[in-house]
């Protein structure tokens, strides 16, 4: 895309955002990778180095050895303490401050939208979160940052400090259903928005990738900001191919110009 083409599409999307009242932002792994978090499915990602079959819930429950390996992969990925929000996360949080954001629906498990400043009540995490772990015995939920100070992965798969039950990161493993409440809210918000913006998702993982379909079917505009082509590009109203962390701040500045020109508050 030429610079002129990019600028035109940024202005088109900024105009849609300025005129919209219920905006849903749907984010995928392309947002997280720009914060240094490894992708699972891309070449060089986690699945190219580890067997995805070892991330099934069945293997997690049946094998302490596999359970320890899963814990180590997730902890050593930097999802918990090392990753920081990038320009895309900060731009989405700023849309909320401008009063333009209805909610964020994310496939990511890194808690970076909340770290960037989004209201946790407006973030629906379809694949769970690494910010917490849960005991499958007593059901006690632990903040992961606190828990890591109490367990020793070099001594084996961690157990609940209270009842010695199996501890599981609050993420969705293969073979598990998506969290019903988060999915219900995501579908409902997608069907009631007037603009859905896909950011950093190739839209190949279902049922999460149905969200722009639901929005379009309900008459909403759909925009896509992604590094590569998606199967939904031809149906989208605006498509911008580029790095989310670079493009989203440019879109935000254009939105502020639109709001100022219309007499709104660019804050």
- Reported as a single tens digit per residue, the pLDDT across 76-119 is 765 566 789 999 999 999 999 999 999 999 999 999 999 999 99
- Tokens in use for 56? 């099934």
Distances (CA, A) of 43 to 48, 69, 72: 7, 21, 21
Given the residues 89, 113, 127, 189, select the one marked as catalytic.
Answer: 127
| Mean pLDDT in residue range 51-64 | 81
Short-list 89, 26, 14, 30, CA closest to 241? 30
Residue 121 has pLDDT above 70, yes or no: yes
Question: Are 193 and 23 within 8 A, CB to CB?
Answer: yes
pLDDT, one tens digit per residue, over 148-174 is 878 788 888 889 989 999 999 998 888
pLDDT, residue 47, reads: 47
pLDDT, residue 45, reads: 47
Three-state DSSP at 191 gives helix
The DSSP symbol for 46 reads H
Q: Which CATH number fits domain 38-77+128-171: 2.40.50.100, 3.40.640.10, 3.20.20.80, 3.30.1600.10?
A: 3.30.1600.10
| Mean pLDDT in residue range 119-133 | 94
Is the bond preceding 137 in cis, omega lying within 30 degrees of 0?
no
Question: Are 197 and 13 within 8 A, CB to CB?
Answer: yes
Three-state DSSP at 266 gives coil
| Mean pLDDT in residue range 4-32 | 94
Helices 87-97 and 244-261, axial angle in degrees (round to 10): 30
Residue 120 has pLDDT above 50, yes or no: yes
pLDDT, residue 56, reads: 84
| Mean pLDDT in residue range 136-158 | 87
pLDDT, one tens digit per residue, over 240-258 is 999 999 999 999 999 999 9
185 is catalytic: no
Residue 49 has pLDDT above 90, yes or no: no
Please tell me the total number of residues recorded for the chain in this structure. Answer: 267
Say what the pTM is. 0.90
Question: Phi-psi bin for 226: left (phi > 0), alpha (psi -120 to 50), beta?
Answer: beta
C-alpha of 31 from chain center: 7
Average pLDDT score, the chain:
89
Where do you find CATH 3.40.50.1220 in the chain?
A: 1-37+84-126+178-267
| Mean pLDDT in residue range 178-196 | 97
Where do you find CATH 3.30.1600.10 in the chain?
A: 38-77+128-171
pLDDT, residue 54, reads: 67
pLDDT, residue 31, reads: 94
pLDDT, residue 150, reads: 80
CATH superfamily of 1-37+84-126+178-267: TPP-binding domain (3.40.50.1220)
* 257/265 Cα distance (integer angstroms): 10
């Amino acid at each position: 895309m030429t610079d002129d083409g990019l600028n035109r599409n940024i202005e088109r999307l900024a105009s849609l955002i300025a005129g919209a009242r219920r905006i849903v932002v749907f984010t995928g792994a392309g947002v997280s990778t720009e914060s240094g978090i490894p992708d699972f499915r891309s070449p060089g990602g986690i699945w190219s180095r580890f067997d995805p079959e070892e991330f099934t819930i069945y293997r997690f429950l049946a094998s302490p050895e596999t359970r320890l390996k899963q814990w180590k992969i997730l902890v050593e990925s930097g999802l918990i303490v090392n990753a920081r929000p990038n320009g895309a996360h900060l731009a989405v949080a700023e849309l909320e401050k401008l009063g333009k954001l209805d909610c964020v629906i994310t496939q990511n498990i890194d808690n970076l939208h909340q770290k960037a400043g989004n209201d946790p009540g407006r973030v629906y995490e379809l694949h769970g979160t690494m910010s917490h772990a849960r005991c499958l015995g007593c059901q006690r939920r632990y903040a992961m940052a606190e828990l890591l100070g109490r367990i020793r992965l070099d001594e084996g798969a961690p157990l609940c400090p209270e009842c010695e039950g199996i501890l599981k990161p609050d993420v969705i493993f293969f073979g598990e259903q998506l969290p019903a409440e988060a999915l219900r809210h995501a579908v409902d918000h997608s069907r009631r928005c007037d603009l859905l913006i896909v950011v950093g998702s190739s839209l190949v993982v279902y049922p999460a990738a149905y969200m722009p379909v639901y929005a379009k079917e309900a008459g909403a505009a759909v925009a896509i900001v992604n590094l590569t082509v998606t199967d939904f590009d031809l149906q989208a109203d605006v498509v911008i191919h580029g790095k989310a962390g670079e493009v989203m701040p440019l879109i935000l500045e254009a939105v502020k110009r639109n709001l100022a020109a219309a007499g709104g508050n660019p804050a």
